[in-house]
Amino acid sequence: FFFKFTVLITKLQPQTFSLQSYVANILIAVNPYKEIQALYSPETIQSYRGKSLGGEASSRLCHRRQGLPRHASAETVPVHYSQRGIWSSYLKVALTGKTESTKHLLKFLCDSWGAEAGPIQQKILDANPVLEAFGNAKTTRNNNSSRFGKFIEVHFDKNFKVAGGHISHYLLEKSRICSPQGDERSYHIFYMLMAGAPDGLRQKLGLTKPDDFNYLKSGCTRYFTNPTSEKKLVATQKSSEHTSKGPLKDILLDDVTDFVELDQALSRLGLSDGERLQIYTTVAAVHHLGNIEFEDNPEDTRGGCRVASSKERALVMASKLLEIDAGELRQALVARVMQSSRGGLKGTVIMVPLKIYEANNARDALAKAIYSNLFDYIVNRINQSIPFQASSYYIGVLDIAGFEFFTVNSFEQFCINYCNEKLQQFFNERILKYEQELYKREGLSVPEITFVDNQDCIDVIEAKNKGILTLLDEESKLPKPSYTHFTEEVHKAWPKEYRLGLPRSSKLKAHRSLRDDEGFLVRHFAGAVCYQTKQFIDKNNDALHASLEGIIQDSKNKLIQLLFATSMAQKGKLTFISVGNKFKTQLGELMEKLKNNGTNFIRCVKPNSKMIDNQFDGSLSLMQLKCSGMTSVLELMEHGYPSRTPFADLHGMYKDYLPNELKVLSPKTFCEAMFHSLKLQDRDFKFGVTRVFFRPGKFAEFDKIMRSDPENLKSIVANVKKWLVKSRWIKAQFCALTVIKMKNKIAYRKKALLIVQKSIRGYLVKKRHAPRIKAFKNIRALEGNLKKKKLQEQKNAEEQERLRKIQEELERQKRLKEEEERKQREEEEMRKKKAEIEARRKIEEEERKRQEEADRKMAMELQAQQEKLAQEERRYQEQLEQERQDRELALRLAQESNGQLEETPPMIRKSEAVKNQQANLAKSKYDLSKWKYSELRDTINTSCDIELLEACRHEFHRRLKVYHAWKAKNRKRTTMEENERAPRSVMESATRTPRLPQKAVLDNNSQRFFRIPFQRPGGDQSKRGWWYAHFDGQYVARQMELHPDKTPILLVAGKDDMQMCELSLEETGLTRKRGAEILESEFNKDWERNADSHTFGRPIENK
Q: Which one-letter DSSP state was computed for residue 95?
A: S
Of 92, 21, 9, 61, residue with least CA distance to 635 = 61
pLDDT of residue 15: 54
pLDDT of residue 573: 43
Domain edges within the chain: 1-71+599-640, 643-749, 966-1096
pLDDT of residue 1034: 85
Question: How many beta carbons lie within 10 A of that of residue 973, not counting itself?
Answer: 9
- 365 contact partners, CB below 8 Å, separation of at least 6: 544, 545, 548
3-state secondary structure of 1060: coil
CA quadruple 521, 522, 525, 526: dihedral sign: negative
CA dist 532 to 368, 484, 517, 655, Å?
21, 10, 9, 62
Domains 1-71+599-640 and 643-749 share a fold: no
Q: Could you tell me if 104 and 40 are in contact, meaning their C-beta atoms sit under 8 angstroms apart?
A: yes
Q: At what angle do helices 770-896 and 710-768 cross, to 10 degrees?
A: 100
Of 559, 596, 105, 189, residue with least CA distance to 370 = 559
CA distance 1038 to 1061: 10
CA distance 65 to 48: 9
Question: How many beta carbons lie within 10 A of that of residue 585, not counting itself?
Answer: 11
Of 381, 360, 226, residue with least CA distance to 293 = 360
Sequential DSSP letters for 236-277: GGS-HHHHHH--B--TT--HHHHHHHHHHHHHHTT--HHHHH
CA distance 486 to 468: 9
Name the superfamily (CATH) of residues 1-71+599-640. Kinesin motor domain (3.40.850.10)
CA distance 171 to 404: 14
CA distance 337 to 551: 12
3-state secondary structure of 685: strand
Q: Give the pTM.
A: 0.60
Q: What is the pLDDT of residues 1011-1042, one digit of tens each?
A: 988 876 665 666 778 899 999 888 888 999 88
CA dist 204 to 197, 278, 320, 422, Å?
11, 12, 11, 46
CA distance 906 to 947: 42
Q: Could you tell me if 106 and 79 are in contact, meaning their C-beta atoms sit under 8 angstroms apart?
A: no
Which residues of the chain fall below pLDDT 70? 1-19, 24-25, 37-40, 42-97, 112-118, 339-347, 566-575, 657, 697-713, 897-925, 972-979, 990-1005, 1016-1022, 1092-1103
- Burial (CB < 10 A; 0-12, 13-18, 19+), residue 809, is exposed
pLDDT of residue 340: 60
Reported as type and span, the H/E element at residue 661 is helix 660-663
Q: Could you tell me if 1029 and 1010 are in contact, meaning their C-beta atoms sit under 8 angstroms apart?
A: yes
Question: How many beta carbons lie within 10 A of that of residue 969, not counting itself?
Answer: 8
Question: How many beta carbons lie within 10 A of that of residue 852, not counting itself?
Answer: 13
CA distance 71 to 630: 19
Three-class secondary structure assignment of 594-616: HHCCEEEEEEEECCCCCCCCCCC
Q: Could you tell me if 123 and 57 are in contact, meaning their C-beta atoms sit under 8 angstroms apart?
A: no
Q: Which one-letter DSSP state was computed for residue 116?
A: G
Q: Which one-letter DSSP state was computed for residue 428?
A: I
- 251 contact partners, CB below 8 Å, separation of at least 6: 34, 35
Question: How many beta carbons lie within 10 A of that of residue 1025, not counting itself?
Answer: 18
CATH classification of 643-749, choosing from 2.60.40.420, 3.30.565.10, 3.40.50.300, 1.20.5.4820? 1.20.5.4820
Name the CA radius of gyration of the chain, rounded: 56
- 680 contact partners, CB below 8 Å, separation of at least 6: 698, 701
